[in-house]
Amino acid sequence: MATRYATLTPNNVYAQSNILKTVRRFLPSNYSADLWQRPNGAVILIHGEDVAGWTLDGYVIPRLESGMLYARERQGTDSVFD
């Protein structure tokens, strides 16, 4: 199986760690999230492998959207830091 990626950009610098905790609570056990600092701001990187219906596009992203957290899938050729 291939690892799939999505990114979410926190709106508020001061809320980054709280948003990361919230994102992690929304994820199934086959996905995780990390906070990456970059020169022009931080990004939350969501990564994992699809298992038994727990998919990035079919479960993870819609579940995050239910909490008003909007992630975007990144293809393997994309830079997660763009």
Inform me whether the pLDDT recorded for 6 exceeds 70: yes
User: How far apart are alpha carbons 69 and 1 in whole angstroms?
Assistant: 26
Mean pLDDT of 5-24: 84
pLDDT of residue 82: 55
Three-state secondary structure call for residue 36 = strand
Digit-coded pLDDT (tens) for 20-63: 999 999 999 999 999 988 787 788 999 999 999 999 999 999 99
Beta strand 31-38 with 41-48 is: antiparallel
Residue with tokens 């709106």: 11
Domains of the chain: 4-74 (3.30.70)
* pTM higher than 0.95: no
Residue 37 makes CB contacts below 8 A (sequence gap 6+) with none
Mean pLDDT of 67-73: 93
User: How far apart are alpha carbons 37 and 25 in whole angstroms?
Assistant: 21
